[in-house]
Amino acid sequence: MEQTHLWPRTPVPRAMPAPLAAARKLEFALACAVVFLAPMNVLKLPAFYFTASDAFTCLCLATMAFNGTIRLKPLGPGTAFWIFGLVMMVGTLLVSSLLVGVVDRGLILSLQYLFAYFLLPIVFLARPWDETITLMKVFVVSMVVMAIHGIYVVNIVGETNTLFVSGSGRLQGFVERENECGALFALTVPMVLSMTAMRLMKNVVAIPVLILLGYGIMLTGSNTALYGMLFGLSTFLLSTLTPKRIFIGAIGFAAIWSLLGAPAFRDMLPAVFKKRVLSGLVSGDLSGAGTFADRMLLNEEAIRLGGEALLLGYGADQYREISDYGSPVHNVYLLIWNEGGGPALIGFIIMLSGAAITVWMAWRRREGRYEAICGFSAITLFAILINAAPHVYGRFWAIPVLLSVAPSVAFLNFGRPRQQYSPTGRKRR
């Protein structure tokens, strides 16, 4: 007798003709390619920002249109807020750019944001449980590959001032940016923890993956990524508070702190990590860590200039033109405020609240707590990390956040997969 399930294990009905079944398999294979290639920002066109992942996104969307599987509510109950906020941000950015005479930059920047935050949710979200889980695992594999590659180019080859390693010896990875590479590792940590809690990944696999991700952050020498990872860990532990996890967390923190004080262990750490991060961490003086002081100067200038952009901004990519420092402020909130105006910033916040609404709806049901924790950890960590980043239309920013929200959407659409886990974390029989 065939076993029934609480959710569709595969979107391909048994009665579907073979050509259509093959088209559905092709669609999902293309979605997996999008996820795997998303961190590989190095694979892009030289003329404008269009990556290999973007090419597979277009192919996947075309296949979805052929299959009739375009999802009208990819974020479930938060879809309306997400789309309204995105349109509000993009619209005011376009108007501001038009008024200052840089409509071409406004169109390009707006299309980049629409691609990342309108098209990608259609590709990844509201998929059945088995596809959602597989896409998350594919992304983790991609990040593991980048961490291993980073160890090879930094520790074995000893590259500096190359495509993958900066002149100061910081890992840039496939993302070609040090802080963004570290942020990607940090965003992956709560995803792995949540998958372990949901019995989607075994501890014997999760532990070495987490070690690789943590070491990858060290190779980037990013203070923001390190503290972001610690925030993600803390958010997960507090959200899943149990005596056992409190004990494990306390022991782990004490062990790491003791090791950092041991000269033999510190000598094993990457040189760039010791120089940029560990010195400030041990001394307690974080003001000199990295480029903290320079970024604070840019933030102060952006707040001052933003006072004249309450309704309309200075236009897309124009902050560097009006700044005394000739550089865009590394804070998405301040950058969107200055270039698009106050309504653009409000729209961006409304967009993020759409994802928060979906996560909250999953949290309200006791069976969906771990799905909600996965999404909540990613959203809050993303909201913090982008305080130290310029524009975030890069697909490598959007995909880990969307994939972390995907379990909440799948739970709201299909319920809990059978034979998975109970709200207490124990596996169901």
pLDDT tens for the chain, 429 residues: list them. Answer: 333 333 333 344 444 555 577 888 999 999 999 999 999 999 999 888 999 999 999 999 999 999 888 988 999 999 999 999 999 999 999 999 999 999 999 999 999 999 999 999 999 998 999 999 999 999 999 999 999 999 999 999 988 889 999 988 899 999 998 999 999 999 999 999 999 988 899 989 999 999 999 999 999 998 889 989 989 888 888 887 767 666 766 776 677 666 666 666 666 788 888 787 776 665 555 555 556 667 788 889 999 998 888 899 999 999 988 888 888 888 999 999 999 999 999 999 999 999 999 999 999 988 888 999 999 999 999 999 999 888 999 999 999 999 999 999 999 988 877 545 444 444 444
Cα Rg, the chain, nearest whole Å: 22
- Which DSSP category does 416 fall into? P
Q: What angle do CA 225, 132, 126 make, to 5 degrees?
A: 105
H or E segment to which residue 257 belongs:
helix 243-260
Q: State the pTM of this model.
A: 0.89
Do 168 and 238 have their domain in common? Answer: yes
Residue 150 maps to a domain: yes
pLDDT of residue 184: 96
Residue 61 maps to a domain: yes
Do 30 and 89 have their domain in common? Answer: no
Residue 54 maps to a domain: yes
Do 37 and 175 have their domain in common? Answer: no
Do 29 and 105 have their domain in common? Answer: no
Which residue, of 70, 100, 131, is where some domain finishes?
A: 70
Question: Residue 335, Cα to own-chain centre: how many angstroms?
Answer: 19
Residue 426 maps to a domain: no
pLDDT of residue 418: 59
- State how far the Cα of 77 lies from the Cα of 82, in Å rounded to an integer: 10
Do 205 and 60 have their domain in common? Answer: no
Residue 386 class from Cβ within 10 Å (0-12 exposed, 13-18 middle, 19+ buried)? buried
Structure tokens at 36: 């795997």
Do 160 and 228 have their domain in common? Answer: yes
Do 57 and 76 have their domain in common? Answer: no
Residue 308 maps to a domain: yes
In the Cβ-directed half-sphere of 270, how many Cα atoms lie within 13 Å?
Answer: 25
Do 219 and 265 have their domain in common? Answer: yes
- Which DSSP category does 366 fall into? G
Residue 17 maps to a domain: no
Do 186 and 48 have their domain in common? Answer: no
pLDDT of residue 7: 38
Do 62 and 175 have their domain in common? Answer: no
pLDDT of residue 290: 54
Residue 129 maps to a domain: no
* Range of the structural domain that residue 62 is part of: 24-70
Do 182 and 52 have their domain in common? Answer: no
Reported for 277-282, long-range contacts at CB under 8 A and 24+ positions apart, including other chains, are: 277/218, 277/221, 277/222, 277/223, 277/226, 280/223, 281/226
Do 157 and 223 have their domain in common? Answer: yes
- State how far the Cα of 171 lies from the Cα of 146, in Å rounded to an integer: 10
Residue 403, SS3? Answer: helix
Query: Are the C-beta atoms of 134 and 183 separated by less than 8 Å?
Result: no
Count of the separate structural domains present in the chain: 2
pLDDT of residue 11: 43
Residue 7 maps to a domain: no
Structure tokens at 129: 């449980």
pLDDT of residue 12: 40
Question: Residue 234, Cα to own-chain centre: how many angstroms?
Answer: 17
Distances (CA, A) of 164 to 152, 177, 224, 395, 417: 11, 8, 19, 18, 40
Identify the residue whose tokens are 């000598």: 267
- State how far the Cα of 42 lies from the Cα of 46, in Å rounded to an integer: 10
pLDDT of residue 21: 77
Distances (CA, A) of 227 to 47, 138, 200, 317: 35, 25, 26, 28
- State how far the Cα of 395 lies from the Cα of 33, in Å rounded to an integer: 13
- State how far the Cα of 419 lies from the Cα of 6, in Å rounded to an integer: 10
Q: What are phi and psi of 51, to 5 degrees?
A: -95, 175
- State how far the Cα of 228 lies from the Cα of 224, in Å rounded to an integer: 6
Identify the residue whose tokens are 């509201």: 126
